[in-house]
A and B are shown apart, each in its own frame.
Chain A
Amino acid sequence: MTTIANRQELFGHTPDKNYYTASKGFLSWALTLDHKRIGIMYLIGVSAAFFLAGIFALVLRTELLTGTGVFLSEKQYNQMFTLHGAIMVFAFIIPSIPAALGNFVLPMMLGAKDVAFPRLNLCSFYLWVFGTLFLLIAMLTSGLDTGWTFYAPYSIRTSTAVTYATMGAFILGFSSIFTGLNFLVTVNTMRPPGMGWFQLPLFIWALYATAIIQILATPVLGITLLLLIAERTLHIAIFDPALGGDPVLFQHFFWFYSHPAVYIMILPGMGVISELISVHSRKEIFGYKFIAFSSVAIAFLGFLVWGHHMFTSGQSVVMNMVFSAITFTVAVPSAVKVFNWLGTLYKGSIALTTPMCYALAFILLFGVGGLTGLFLSTISVDRHLHDTYFIVAHFHFVMVGGTLTALLGGLFHWWPKITGRMYNETLGRLSAFLVFSGFNLTFLPQFVMGSRGMMRRYARYDPEFKVFHQWSTFGAFVLGFGVLLAYAVLLYAMKRGKPVAGNPWGAASLEWQSSSPPSFHNFDHKVVMNEPYDFSTQVYDAELDSYVHRRFLEPSKPTTQPQHS
């Protein structure tokens, strides 16, 4: 018999023996090999980068309030949007879900003690720190005004700190590669006995597909940025048309990475949503294999569509058509996911918890972001919409409406596991509402003004666009406040939240079989294998105020077949 004392010890709230009380002092964090601590450090890091770049976004939106400028010069405006983009993309979105949440959750979902290469994991974190430092150095010296895309030949000629910034992006690229490599190996070799590929939680499938892209695409960015640095310092003339080089080659190289990188940003978010939707509607995920394989399909197709960023670069008509057609194809696996999530919700017992609110926001926003992508992959329409606010709105719907809401939803979902404490549900829901409505206020007007010809990256604009810009700016502040509220709710919960035991949601994936917060070795007992979305295995235990696996609660009761005849 499992006594309540046993269960309390194995699954309860553990203030005195968990991963962050296991050892003390700065060095115990700085030199830790524990994936959970590395995940936390990543979370703090990417959140700081996010807030910095978020402040830039608000500065930009304020500047755009009147159309004639508020407090920035045109040059400062160029620097501001470049740094907003570069820091958001390289230092925040790409590492956000995989490196922060993924690091914490992935090994635990596999019932493992750690990732396959803990030292590489720590190395990846420090590379992130150094890479971000380089971006900051670029910002603090002569800034950066190329746009986050570093297009040649302007990036060769500008006097701003392109070399530092590209060095930063290069280092961040290796950080990303190492994370991906680590996850891929971990999933391949460290699954526990009894866990086949189709017993993996879908978050893992998404991270696995992401890791494939990280490994295959990022090195190409690495060499491209190195060549750009060599171009600036040695004038090797590979990208410089003045010396006989080919600037379009840079675009090809850059987008060969950066388009797949879009899927590095969104796929982990999709994985998080698969977990949230299923757990918070207490219903087995609909179409498990379809969702799993659609992740891989997106990863594969993502490599074949980079040319759709270059419809107006003068590449041949045939190439445009091919890239356009393949781009349409990407919509299929994306839609497969959305329909399966809706199928999961159908007749589920939906609990409108904060994670579920964020997940619903994700489906709506990602739906709009994905569908407007079809406008842009239509060549004739893209000729009109290229480099307008329409594209700005489109990719913000995918990256902010998609990845950011997934990150926040995932944080709320796993926060009880990470900290052992529950957040305030009402305020959490309020933050989800503010993020959702603020986001729409910001970016829906941008679709309209983009389709009417408002170009992106312009510091000044005609009066006819003023009303849209003002709505957009207002929305941006609501969005900013929503995000701040979300972080405030989480931080408050960490200090004062109600202590929770192992599995408050009744989720069936393995990470919930640990105590909250988990102990240093993740599990104090041998994990009990079960299907990741079979919620019938989880039974509510009133004494713990948490769910536990049926086997722990009623050991005498047979689960599959009678033990006593």
Chain B
Amino acid sequence: MTATELAESAHDEHAHHSHGEFIAHHFDSAEQQYDSGKLGIWLFLVTEILFFSGLFCAYTLYRSHHPEIFVQASTFLDKRLGGLNTIVLLFSSLTMALAVRSAQLVERKKVIVYLVLTMVCAAVFLGIKAVEYSHKWDEGIFVRAYFNLHEHVGHGISKYLILISVPFLVLLVGSVIAAFTYRSLGKQHLFVFFISLAIMFGGYFLGAVGGKVYMNWKTARDAQLAAASIDHSASTTDEHSSAESHDAATPTTKHVAASDAAVVPKANEDADHGPAHLDQDIGIFFSIYYCMTGLHAFHVIGGMIALSWLLYRSILGHWRADYYGPVDFVGLYWHLVDLIWIFLFPLLYLIN
């Protein structure tokens, strides 16, 4: 073959490429593009897992150093709300998988419905999380340095909860306004997009209100129970603290040299002042708790943004039988976010 022919054949190749609408120029085929994206997203997920791994390491280290703190601290977390959030995320994984399947089959409407369901679940999750966070903050449960456990302050709706909810409210109202503005302008696809966003932000309030109602019921019930059995609770506290001192006395071999100094005097003080001092150290558990769940919540928010982008493209009907990669890839990311929560839930909520 002469060079001219070679040059022409290269040129022909450009021209004859059955390049679909969304196949980038540097890929030879839709398949190559899909494979690259798939490998890319898996590698990205690997980096995500390693990103969280540091926190899991810190968790393991402190739990092995201070098992008693973790046991006591986890009683401050509400298993029911955590469990409900687990179910919500698991369900969202199902709807996400269905969205991927529908995109493969180019069923535009189904993709949209499943994506919106997934987004609503994500928002419900955040709503419940907001109730949990604000409830703890009301009791002074912050990270280690600011940890200051006290009686639940304030009645009605927590100011922290209002603070977290304001951005969502703004986004909800904004989406509704945008939706109806676009409808009056006759842009149907933007109307659908923004009304879906509004539904998603509505999901946040569904979660927050539901969580809050449950929290109020629980507080009332606890108060009732406490009033009914003061004697009983006093005896369990005794049992508890004796178990503590036993714990602290025996496993000194488990502690590395660095933490010995911190642990031994604390055990003595426990005996003197009762559980008050231990509460300070629970702060380390909550440091880790806030880091882990906070980072996870950021990933949920990231997922909501990515899902919104998918939704927009779905409304425009971008998916083809040979081009549905983005749905698949975001789906994989979403499953990972779900999976991390499935590890966080037992590690943090179900210690005892």
> A and B bound?
yes
Q: Which of A55-63, A67-75, A233-241, A454-462 contacts B (4 or more CB under 8 A)?
A: A233-241
Report if A511 contacts B (CB, 8 A). no
Contacts of A181 in B (CB 8 A): 40, 43-44, 47
Contact with A along B21-45 (1 / 0, CB 8 A): 0001111000010011001100110
| B266–chain A nearest beta-carbon distance, Å | 8
Other-chain residue from A189, A237, A248 in contact with B39 (beta carbon distance below 8 A): A189
| B276–chain A nearest beta-carbon distance, Å | 16
Number of A residues contacting the other chain (C-beta, 8 Å)?
A: 57
State whether A246 touches B7 (Cβ < 8 A).
Answer: no
Decide yes or no: A235 and B145 within 8 Å by CB, A112-B26, A177-B47 being known contacts: yes
Cα A120 to Cα B329 with chains together (Å): 15
In chain B, positions 258-298 with a C-beta closer than 8 Å to chain A are 258-259, 262, 281, 283-284, 287-288, 290-291, 295
Report if A227 contacts B (CB, 8 A). yes
State whether B10 touches A524 (Cβ < 8 A).
Answer: yes
Decide yes or no: A235 and B146 within 8 Å by CB, A181-B44, A190-B36 being known contacts: yes
Contact with A along B41-66 (1 / 0, CB 8 A): 00110111011111101100110010
Decide yes or no: A6 and B143 within 8 Å by CB, A227-B54, A238-B287 being known contacts: no
Other-chain residue from B9, B39, B61, B288 in contact with A185 (beta carbon distance below 8 A): B39
Report if B166 contacts A (CB, 8 A). no
Cα A248 to Cα B53 with chains together (Å): 17
Contact with B along A240-253 (1 / 0, CB 8 A): 01011111110011
Decide yes or no: A223 and B55 within 8 Å by CB, A314-B257, A526-B13, A555-B2 being known contacts: yes
Report if B223 contacts A (CB, 8 A). no
State whether A237 touches B144 (Cβ < 8 A).
Answer: yes
State whether B52 touches A223 (Cβ < 8 A).
Answer: yes
State whether B48 touches A236 (Cβ < 8 A).
Answer: no
State whether A219 touches B50 (Cβ < 8 A).
Answer: yes
| B291–chain A nearest beta-carbon distance, Å | 7
How many contacts A-B (CB < 8 Å)?
A: 154
State whether A185 touches B259 (Cβ < 8 A).
Answer: no
Contacts of B46 in A (CB 8 A): 215-216
Cα A217 to Cα B50 with chains together (Å): 8
Contacts of B4 in A (CB 8 A): 2, 6
Contacts of A112 in B (CB 8 A): 26
Cα A227 to Cα B54 with chains together (Å): 9
State whether A117 touches B2 (Cβ < 8 A).
Answer: no
Cα A223 to Cα B1 with chains together (Å): 56
Cα A186 to Cα B26 with chains together (Å): 11
State whether B7 touches A524 (Cβ < 8 A).
Answer: yes
Contacts of A9 in B (CB 8 A): 7
Contacts of A248 in B (CB 8 A): 258
Report if B321 contacts A (CB, 8 A). no
Report if B228 contacts A (CB, 8 A). no
Cα A252 to Cα B60 with chains together (Å): 14
State whether B145 touches A526 (Cβ < 8 A).
Answer: no
Report if B227 contacts A (CB, 8 A). no
Other-chain residue from B35, B51, B57, B262 in contact with A189 (beta carbon distance below 8 A): B35
Contacts of B53 in A (CB 8 A): 219-220, 223
Cα A2 to Cα B3 with chains together (Å): 5
Contacts of A115 in B (CB 8 A): 26
Q: Who on chain B is nearest to A217 by CB?
A: B50
Contacts of A216 in B (CB 8 A): 46-47, 50
Cα A237 to Cα B285 with chains together (Å): 10
State whether A189 touches B36 (Cβ < 8 A).
Answer: yes
State whether A215 touches B47 (Cβ < 8 A).
Answer: yes
| B207–chain A nearest beta-carbon distance, Å | 25
Contacts of A237 in B (CB 8 A): 143-145, 283-284, 287
Report if B234 contacts A (CB, 8 A). no
| A241–chain B nearest beta-carbon distance, Å | 7
Number of B residues contacting the other chain (C-beta, 8 Å)?
A: 50
Report if A184 contacts B (CB, 8 A). yes
Cα A526 to Cα B283 with chains together (Å): 64
In chain B, positions 135-158 with a C-beta closer than 8 Å to chain A are 143-146
State whether A219 touches B144 (Cβ < 8 A).
Answer: no
| A233–chain B nearest beta-carbon distance, Å | 10
Report if B185 contacts A (CB, 8 A). no
Report if B230 contacts A (CB, 8 A). no
Report if B15 contacts A (CB, 8 A). no
Report if A188 contacts B (CB, 8 A). yes
Cα A226 to Cα B40 with chains together (Å): 24
State whether B281 touches A220 (Cβ < 8 A).
Answer: no
Cα A116 to Cα B34 with chains together (Å): 11
State whether A525 touches B6 (Cβ < 8 A).
Answer: yes
Report if A118 contacts B (CB, 8 A). yes
State whether A246 touches B36 (Cβ < 8 A).
Answer: no
State whether B291 touches A117 (Cβ < 8 A).
Answer: no
Decide yes or no: A243 and B145 within 8 Å by CB, A2-B3, A189-B32 being known contacts: yes
Report if A22 contacts B (CB, 8 A). no
| A225–chain B nearest beta-carbon distance, Å | 10
State whether A234 touches B143 (Cβ < 8 A).
Answer: yes
State whether B258 touches A253 (Cβ < 8 A).
Answer: no
Decide yes or no: A219 and B47 within 8 Å by CB, A190-B32, A238-B288, A555-B1 being known contacts: yes
| A184–chain B nearest beta-carbon distance, Å | 6
State whether A246 touches B61 (Cβ < 8 A).
Answer: yes
Other-chain residue from B2, B10, B48, B258 in contact with A241 (beta carbon distance below 8 A): B258
Report if A384 contacts B (CB, 8 A). no
Q: Who on chain B is nearest to A522 by CB?
A: B26
Cα A248 to Cα B58 with chains together (Å): 11
| A521–chain B nearest beta-carbon distance, Å | 8
| A449–chain B nearest beta-carbon distance, Å | 33
Other-chain residue from B35, B257, B281 in contact with A244 (beta carbon distance below 8 A): B281
In chain B, positions 142-180 with a C-beta closer than 8 Å to chain A are 143-146
Tell which of A6, A7, A115 has the most Cβ of chain B within 10 Å.
A6
Q: Who on chain A is nearest to B48 by CB?
A: A219
Contacts of B32 in A (CB 8 A): 189-190
| A464–chain B nearest beta-carbon distance, Å | 36
Cα A118 to Cα B58 with chains together (Å): 36
Decide yes or no: A113 and B284 within 8 Å by CB, A184-B43, A314-B258 being known contacts: no
Report if A270 contacts B (CB, 8 A). no
State whether B3 touches A227 (Cβ < 8 A).
Answer: no
State whether A525 touches B143 (Cβ < 8 A).
Answer: no
Contacts of A247 in B (CB 8 A): 258
Contacts of B3 in A (CB 8 A): 2, 6-7, 10, 525, 552, 555
| B162–chain A nearest beta-carbon distance, Å | 22
State whether A118 touches B26 (Cβ < 8 A).
Answer: yes
State whether B36 touches A236 (Cβ < 8 A).
Answer: no
State whether B25 touches A113 (Cβ < 8 A).
Answer: yes
Contact with B along A522-555 (1 / 0, CB 8 A): 0111100000000000000000000000001001
Contacts of B36 in A (CB 8 A): 116-117, 185-186, 188-190
Q: Who on chain B is nearest to A238 by CB?
A: B58
A-B contact pairs, 15 of them (CB 8 A): A2-B2, A10-B3, A181-B44, A190-B32, A222-B51, A223-B54, A227-B58, A227-B291, A230-B143, A241-B258, A241-B262, A243-B144, A246-B61, A525-B7, A525-B10
Closest 3 CB pairs between A and B?
A235-B145, A237-B144, A223-B54
Chain B positions within 8 Å of A, measured between CB atoms, are: 1-4, 6-7, 9-10, 13, 24-27, 32, 35-36, 39-40, 43-44, 46-48, 50-55, 57-58, 61-62, 65, 143-146, 257-259, 262, 281, 283-284, 287-288, 290-291, 295
Known: A112-B26, A314-B258. 17 other contacts (CB 8 A): A6-B2, A10-B6, A118-B24, A181-B44, A186-B36, A189-B35, A219-B53, A220-B54, A223-B51, A223-B295, A235-B146, A237-B144, A243-B144, A244-B284, A246-B61, A246-B62, A524-B10
